[in-house]
Amino acid sequence: MKTEVILIQNIVGLGGESDLVKVAAGYARNYLFPQGLAVPVTGANKRRIEALKQRRADREAHEFNAMTELTKSISKLIAVITVKTGDDGKLFGAVTSGMIADQLKTQFDIILDKKKIHLEHPIKQLGEYDVPLKLHHDVNSTLKLRIESTNPVSTPAAPAPGSPEAREDRRTESRGHKRAQHEQPAEAPDKKAETERKPRAAKPEKSDKPAKREKAEAAK
């Protein structure tokens, strides 16, 4: 059997303040009325509807303003969650909306209901993600999230002296050194030696024509 009630508080999936809704009589009698979440529909209670509507409007306006300011702050943040991984980089488990909400509170002192964090699937890989947030029915945002591993990044160890790997490294280094010497350009020839090798120009022989000319003029 159904009965009509007036909601005093917002109830997810049922309605908000001042809404008239029909619920099971037992649900209203055993839960809604004792918890102060709803009242029966009577003439006196109907007169409370306008006051409830105003309270609801004030609450929603406050939530809208608060979530609008929050989205401005969140857009500048990068939440970092560190997780354990195997040698192949795969996570032990997965990152969930609840873990993200906990990290927001721990890292930035932001309290956010995990139901406002809309992960399509739990995150199972390291990397960076854009996580959609539904802060208000009129306010959406995106949280930048980075998943890092707590395991140190392993670096390849140097080969032990005398091992086949070490001998191969020395042979590779030797071949590279010889190749570099072979490809080195030849030195320019010594300019001084080149100058000495050039043949000297022969000195011009003195002509005796001027002397003969003088003797002829004297004989005249």
Q: What pLDDT score was predicted for residue 165?
A: 61
- Residues 152-174: tens digit of each pLDDT: 655 455 555 655 665 665 666 65
Tokens 């590279």 identify what position? 176
Q: What are the structural domains, with CATH classification, of the chain? A: 2-70 (3.40.5.10), 74-149 (3.10.430.100)
Cβ 52 vs Cβ 18: under 8 Å: yes
In Å, how far are 111, 131, 199, 206 from 93, measured between CA atoms?
Answer: 24, 18, 89, 108
Token pair of 142 as six digits = 């995106």
Task: Count how many residues are written for the chain.
Answer: 220
Task: Quote the distance between the C-alpha of residue 126 and its chain's center.
Answer: 11
Using CA atoms, how far apart are residues 48 and 100, in angstroms rounded to an integer? Answer: 40
Record the tokens describing residue 121, joined without a space: 């699937």
pTM for the predicted model, two decimal places = 0.55
Low-confidence ranges of the chain (pLDDT < 50): 155, 193, 207, 220
